[in-house]
Structure 1
Amino acid sequence: MGVVEELIQSMPLPKMIRIRQHFPSPVVADIEQTIHEAFQQEAKHIQWPSGGEVAVVVGSRGIADLHLVTRAVVAEIRRHGCSPFIVPGMGSHGGATAEGQREIIEGYGVTEAFVGAPIRSSMEVVQIGELQNGLPVYMDRIAYGAEGIFVVNRIKPHTAFRGPFESGIVKMIAIGLGKQKGAEACHKLGFGHMAEHIVEVAKAAIGTGKILGGVAVLENAYDRIAEAHVLPAAQILDREPPLLVRAKSYMPRIFVDDIDVLVVDEIGKDISGDGMDPNITGRYATPFATGGPNVTRICVRRLTERTHGNANGLGVADTTTRQAFEAVEFDMTYPNALTSTVIEPVKLPMILANDRLAIQAAVKTSHVLKEQDVRMVHIRNTLRMDVIRVSESILPLLRERPDVEILGEPKAWKFHDDGSLDVDDAWVE
């Protein structure tokens, strides 16, 4: 036994109890029909070309039913006499390579066979303008060569800055469609200027006449599509801010304001741009965004398979496991940091041999005098916030809430002989 394990092994962990958090949950029952009706409603406001090819820009976020949304957009483009094709629009993600970006969208089910359109992935761009401060404006070369472009994205709060436009159509036009060079330009002066830059870049892109519109989806707290809207190009700047306000109202959260230890089972780019959504964890990589709980220590157990080794977000955790560290692909992780200029999310937390030690280390360093008083929360990831686990010390704060359902009795943490968490014991009802 090494000295690290000797220092940690006797640290007791509080018993945990599963609870169900209830959130408002509007949901789109038929995604493709809803998008078809939205296109019909906006038909006279979209400047459809008389034929030719139209690019559909799809990003790297794990948007609910992205494959169905994309297929519906492809179908609408065909109905208007044009030939659609798919362009990955994700800045520097996918290791900033054409192959990596194609692999990401295919992992979400956006394949040529399913959506009925070819995928054309490239990192080549053309410069379409320049901002007054000298920042160049770029656009994917293949998309720019088309007769028109539709941008598909989810509208939600950003993880690193605040403004009337955060994650959404405007940001996708400015950063996703700009590929690595466009993303690098937008991030050049830091997130303190991001709210301004993405709007100015989007205006320049819309001004080319290439952007036909955007398809904006809003998700509810259960990772389902709550709303779907078609925004003609001329209306994007006016209509997106109110949608962001509604998107924020749908966001899930932890119904506890002060947490000593937060255990997160998995993080990844398919969960959030920051691996785990800071709007949920309260742990941000920049000073330009705030909100969420006050958390003393965060322990991350794993990376998702769909993140393809991209460990962005691991750096804002305090402890993690050797298994998570060994899954890190630095060539997939660092391009994002080098492009965004924010390196905090790709730093390394304390790495422990297994789940048990990583969780115990977080508790040991959480600055709580009596271990039985530790306020501890355990979540699977920041997209699955309905059923979570909380320590007994938190129960008095939740018992009287009408939006909280207590499931069962407190249970001790259960680990396998190798120190890995018994996930079935933790989550299976």
Structure 2
Amino acid sequence: MKEYQLIKIKNQFPENSLKNIKKHCHQELENLKGLIKKNTSIAIGVGSRGIDNLEIVVKEVVDFVKEKEANPFIIPAMGSNGGATSEGQEEVLAGYGITEKRVGAPIRSSMETVEISSGINTHRIYMDKHAFESDGVILINKIKPHTDFHSTYESGLVKMAVIGLGKEPGAEAIHKFGVFGLTNLIPESAKTIFNTGKILAGIGLVENAYDKTMMVKAIPGTEIIEEELKLINIARANRPKLPVDNIDVLIIDEMGKNISGVGVDTNIIGRIKIYGQPEPENPKIKSVIMGDLTDESFGNATGVGLADIISRKLYDKIDLKKTYKNIATSSFLERGKIPFVAENDREAFELALRNCGTSTLGEERIIRIKNTLHLDVLYISEAILNEIKDNPQIEPTEEKINLFDSDKTLYPF
């Protein structure tokens, strides 16, 4: 049986992460001290994405609100994620360490909403009932390029205010308009939401190419729409990418909701699969393999349709009810289609190679990554190494690995 080997490389990005998150949070939160009034109830909105230092940031916000003699509580601000149930959304938060015991504030998880649409809106706008009945809301979210669309506002506090706080009906109200809803109606809806005065502030987090916190920004609610534009540009400038644009086979060891809302970062793999939305020019990948679903996804395999081939291991972890609920809300059905299911990792790889039409041994252009968040360590084929060996950002190692063990399973990354 032929052995397939890849070469380990280190993809070096600027190391600009914050070294003391608590200190930076404390300094930033002082900008909000005049906004929190004594004896008020403050809802702290937390989403469903994996965010570096999330638990630390949430606890710092909770402690800050308590210092001002107000009463904080946590609400899930995640649209229809978590299976669109209050229990499921609370479970998602717990997976990130966001529990009353760990952050010091109770969790109030509900799918109930209040409609706050004004007569001028062409669509309905909703807000979580607990948030609406509070004295004010502080949102916490990572700001980054979105995996569905590119526009003025992408993934961040503005979108969280509209879709995250809007729960299932808020998400459906936007997604039923497709890409137009995401690019045009989110900003319009956000203005209505911010005009209620309910959003006291947002904590915007920006991560570097190593998926580490590089910026914490506490923004008064009246300034979020303006300030997020600056933060998204910083996030774009610091996002990672694969070292080449033309790839025969990309092996992604794991996908999941804690990695991206659609399981993988579409900006990394160059696939969007949304009707009416142009596909990215680069990278061009002939075959994408996804090997596993993270435990933090709780069976939600939204984005599995971006792959060409998946392993039986991943397939067996899929909770179709949760996945289809998420896909139906987004209305991007292509992303929920089940790809070819290979019985093991080796079968998936050999099928992917055949699908590429590369016949000359040694010319296969192969990259293996752990997931689309972590691109600092990769395994690549000789053909790709020969192309990038003079790139100062790339540090080749002497380490070569066999791809598969005797059970036809990928060796641990």
What TM-score does the superposition give when structure 2 sets the normalisation length? 0.96
Q: Aligned partners of 1:66 and 1:405: how far apart in 2?
A: 31
Question: Residue 125 of structure 1 corresponds to which residue in structure 2?
Answer: 113
How far apart are 1:134 and its partner, in Å?
A: 2.4
Q: Aligned partners of 1:362 and 1:113: how far apart in 2?
A: 46
Q: SS at the partner of 2:234?
A: helix
Which of 205, 208, 212 lines up with 1:217 in the alignment? 205
Question: Residue 4 of structure 1 corresponds to which residue in structure 2?
Answer: none
Question: Residue 123 of structure 2 corresponds to which residue in structure 1?
Answer: 135
Question: Residue 255 of structure 2 corresponds to which residue in structure 1?
Answer: 267
How far apart are 1:224 and its partner, in Å?
A: 1.1
How far apart are 1:317 and its partner, in Å?
A: 0.2
Question: Residue 324 of structure 1 corresponds to which residue in structure 2?
Answer: 314
Whether the 8 Å CA contact 2:259–2:373 is kept in 1: the answer is yes
Q: SS at the partner of 1:407?
A: strand
Within-5 A mapping of 1:79-228:
79-130=67-118, 132=120, 134-228=122-216
How far apart are 1:43 and its partner, in Å?
A: 3.6
Of 29-38 and 129-138, deviating more is 129-138
Question: Residue 383 of structure 1 corresponds to which residue in structure 2?
Answer: 373
Which of 379, 398, 422 lines up with 2:411 in the alignment? 422
Q: Aligned partners of 1:41 and 1:174: how far apart in 2?
A: 24
Whether the 8 Å CA contact 2:43–2:73 is kept in 1: the answer is yes
Q: Aligned partners of 1:202 and 1:391: how far apart in 2?
A: 46
Question: Residue 17 of structure 2 corresponds to which residue in structure 1?
Answer: 27
RMSD of aligned alpha carbons? 1.5
The one-letter amino acid of 2:109's match is: S
Question: Residue 37 of structure 1 corresponds to which residue in structure 2?
Answer: 27
Within-5 A mapping of 1:65-84:
65-84=53-72
Q: Aligned partners of 2:212 and 2:164: how far apart in 1?
A: 23
Question: Residue 237 of structure 1 corresponds to which residue in structure 2?
Answer: 225
Which of 351, 360, 363 lines up with 2:353 in the alignment? 363
How far apart are 1:200 and its partner, in Å?
A: 1.1
Q: Aligned partners of 1:106 and 1:26: how far apart in 2?
A: 29
Of 35-44 and 219-228, deviating more is 35-44
Which of 340, 343, 350 lines up with 1:350 in the alignment? 340
Q: SS at the partner of 1:194?
A: helix
How far apart are 1:49 and its partner, in Å?
A: 3.4
Q: How many residues align?
A: 411
Whether the 8 Å CA contact 1:416–1:422 is kept in 2: the answer is no
Gaps of 5+ in 1: 1-9
Can you list the C-alpha shifts for 1:369-418, whole angstroms capped at 9, x where unaligned?
A: 3242110100010111101000011111111111110011444423233x
Of 14-23 and 130-139, deviating more is 130-139
The one-letter amino acid of 1:175's match is: I
Can you list the C-alpha shifts for 1:97-155, whole angstroms capped at 9, x where unaligned?
A: 00000000110011101110000000000001147452100000011100000000000
Whether the 8 Å CA contact 2:289–2:349 is kept in 1: the answer is yes
Can you list the C-alpha shifts for 1:200-250, whole angstroms capped at 9, x where unaligned?
A: 111111111111010000011112111000110111111101100000111
Q: Are residues 13 and 264 of structure 1, via their aligned partners in 2, closer, same or farther at CA, if it must alter by over 3 Å?
A: farther
Q: Are residues 161 and 116 of structure 1, via their aligned partners in 2, closer, same or farther at CA, if it must alter by over 3 Å?
A: same
Whether the 8 Å CA contact 1:299–1:358 is kept in 2: the answer is yes
The one-letter amino acid of 1:30's match is: N
How far apart are 1:289 and its partner, in Å?
A: 6.3
Of 87-96 and 368-377, deviating more is 368-377
Q: SS at the partner of 1:405?
A: strand
How far apart are 1:15 and its partner, in Å?
A: 2.8
1:295 has 2:285 as partner: yes
Q: Aligned partners of 1:240 and 1:411: how far apart in 2?
A: 43
The one-letter amino acid of 1:284's match is: I
Whether the 8 Å CA contact 1:13–1:371 is kept in 2: the answer is no
Gaps of 5+ in 2: none
Question: Residue 52 of structure 2 corresponds to which residue in structure 1?
Answer: 64
Q: SS at the partner of 1:303?
A: coil
The one-letter amino acid of 1:192's match is: F
How far apart are 1:19 and its partner, in Å?
A: 0.3
What TM-score does the superposition give when structure 1 sets the normalisation length? 0.93
1:306 has 2:269 as partner: no
Whether the 8 Å CA contact 2:247–2:285 is kept in 1: the answer is yes
Q: Aligned partners of 2:81 and 2:119: how far apart in 1?
A: 24
How far apart are 1:363 and its partner, in Å?
A: 0.9
Whether the 8 Å CA contact 2:346–2:404 is kept in 1: the answer is no
Question: Residue 5 of structure 1 corresponds to which residue in structure 2?
Answer: none
Q: Aligned partners of 1:52 and 1:91: how far apart in 2?
A: 25
Q: SS at the partner of 1:239?
A: helix
Whether the 8 Å CA contact 2:255–2:264 is kept in 1: the answer is yes
Q: SS at the partner of 2:182?
A: helix
How far apart are 1:14 and its partner, in Å?
A: 4.9
Q: Aligned partners of 1:258 and 1:175: how far apart in 2?
A: 35
